[in-house]
Structures are given as structure tokens and as C-alpha cells.
Amino acid sequence: MHLFHDVCLQCSSITTQQYSTSFSSAIRLLDKSLRPHICSVYGFVRVADEIVDTFHDYDKKTLLAEFKKETYIAINRGISVNPILHSFQLTVNKYNISNDLIEAFFRSMEFDLEKTVYDVNGYQTYIYGSAEVVGLMCLYVFCEGDEQLYKKLTPFARSLGAAFQKVNFLRDFKNDFEGLNRMYFPGCDFTNFSAKDKEVIEKDIQADFDSAYPGILQLPVKVRFGVYVAYKYYLSLFKKIRKAAPQKILKQRVRIPDYGKMLILAKAGVRQQFNML
């Protein structure tokens, strides 16, 4: 079984590397013992995302329902022949990740099959299930069984997950609307997206970043630097989006070039070296 466990964990790591170079780079900055389990969380989330976002020629609703059912079977049995789900259940069972988080995640994925426009309550529910709970799953791994620390850092992890997701929404604004017919931001109209609309959204995102930062400083040393680099990367992406005119994000996806990512990493390394994190 040891070999099967390793192969499944490697499948999740490969999935992470192929789908997100930025996220996988941040994971490599975590303690080696925790990397496979964060990849397991990402791999699980990525497969569900792919079902609802890209499997257009297939019955998405049935596939997602089957994936959800197989997830709980894997967790309860402690094994799955699906490498991604076996990897995920290893992490869930090792760190006692709450099923409530998994259920909330699937609820948001189900929203993506049905909803195209969100009101405030729906938006908040979606953000919680699609992003905040993912941060909380990772926090279970980061805290390694320290329940008191987990509870203490929960609000910070939720804020960080929310900030990342909302930045993604702004970055992928064009594709979400034109490719998937989705408008996540309440009260916004793609055809008449104004500077005022963008300013309101950005103010909300900045508040999430501000709320998250104190929690990063309280993370265990094993993971603090990696999470800080991810935070700085998304904050830099957000700052670039803030400088862009509304019409620009409607037409193209804002990115941080590779040299920019390297500069972020280098600056973070200097801050760590001088104990400035």
C-alpha cells in the first residue's frame, strides 16, 4: 500500500504543477512533509473545477454528483481507486478535515452548474464554499492537529481565501462572462462595468487582504514563508488590476510575468532573512 499511497500523492502533485505554476511554486516553499497534502487538496479542488468549467461535451451534473459520492466513499473507506480521491482522503483522514468544509465546497460547485448571476447572499455563500473552505482545509494541514491554533487562525484563513478568489474573478472577468456566462459580482453588468463598480469591488478585496495579513504572521514556521509568498503574489496581481482601466480587464487577462514572480520571491526571501515577516 505504501507504493500506492506515494503514486496517488504524486498524481495530485503533478495535477498541481500542470494547472498552476504559481501555486505549485508557493507549495515548494512549504515544509517538505506538508507539500503532498496541500497538493492533495488542490488536486481534489481542481478536478471538481474542471468538471463544472470545461467538461462542456459531457453531463456535468451527473459527473459532479458521482465525484461527490465517490469522495465521501473514499473518505469513509480510507481508500479509492481514483488516485486524486485516494490522495485527498489520505489528507482528510490524517488531519481530520471537517466534512462540513467539503460539503460547502460541493455546494458552490453545484452553483456553477445552475447560477449565472449572484445576489449578495449568493455571492457570499459561493465565496465561502469555493475559496474560504479551501483555505481552511489547508489550515488543517498547516496546524497539524493543533485545534486551538486552527480556531485562532480560522478568520484569517477565510479572509485570505476570499481575497485570492475575488482577485481571480477580476482577472478572469472576461472569460467567466463570455466563456461561462457567469457574473459573480452582485449588481454588476459586464456590458456596463464602470470605474465605480470596480472601485467598490477593489475596496472589498483590499479589506480581505488587510484582514488576512496578521494571520500569516502567526502561522507555524514550516508554512509561513510559502503562504507569505502566495499572499504577495496575489497582492501584486491585485495592485496591477487596480491600475488597469475597467475596459482593460473586460478585454484581457491581467498577469504577472515570470520575472515579476521571481522579484516577489527574492524580496520575500530578503524579508525572511532579516526576520521582517
Band of residue 131 on the pLDDT scale cut at 50, 70, 90? very high
Residues 6+ apart with CB under 8 A from 66: none
pLDDT digits (tens, 9 = 90+) for 140-164: 999 999 999 999 999 999 999 999 9
Is pLDDT of 49 > 80? yes
* Separation of alpha carbons 70 and 75, rounded Å: 9
Mean pLDDT for the stretch of residues 157-176: 93
Q: Which helix (H) or strand (E) is 264 found in, with range?
A: helix 258-273
Domain count, the chain: 2
Question: How remote is the C-alpha of 190 from its chain's centroid?
Answer: 24
Q: Which amino acid is at 160?
A: L
DSSP 274: T
Residues 81 and 104 in one domain: no
The Cβ-side half-sphere exposure at 58, using a 13 Å CA radius, reads: 12
Residues 91 and 183 in one domain: no
Q: Which amino acid is at 29?
A: L
Give the residue from 80, 95, 110 where a domain finishes. 95
pLDDT digits (tens, 9 = 90+) for 80-121: 999 999 999 999 999 999 999 999 999 999 999 998 889 999
Residues 178 and 274 in one domain: yes
CA angle at 49 for the pair 47 and 51, rounded to the nearest 5°: 70
pLDDT for 247 equals 86
Is pLDDT of 271 > 80? no
Is pLDDT of 274 > 70? no
Give the residue from 40, 72, 95 where a domain finishes. 95
* Grid cell for residue 12: 495530485
* Grid cell for residue 27: 507549495
> Coil, helix or strand for 86?
helix
> Coil, helix or strand for 117?
strand
Residues 84 and 137 in one domain: no
Domain that holds residue 195: 97-277
Give the residue from 44, 72, 95 where a domain finishes. 95
pLDDT for 62 equals 98
pLDDT digits (tens, 9 = 90+) for 184-222: 999 888 788 889 999 999 999 999 999 999 999 999 999
Residues 110 and 76 in one domain: no
Is pLDDT of 256 > 80? yes
Whole-angstrom CA distances from 241 to 110, 166, 259, 277 are 29, 12, 18, 25
Is pLDDT of 273 > 90? no
CATH of the domain at 149: 1.10.600.10
pLDDT digits (tens, 9 = 90+) for 3-30: 999 999 999 999 999 998 888 889 999 9
pLDDT digits (tens, 9 = 90+) for 215-242: 999 999 999 999 999 999 999 999 999 9
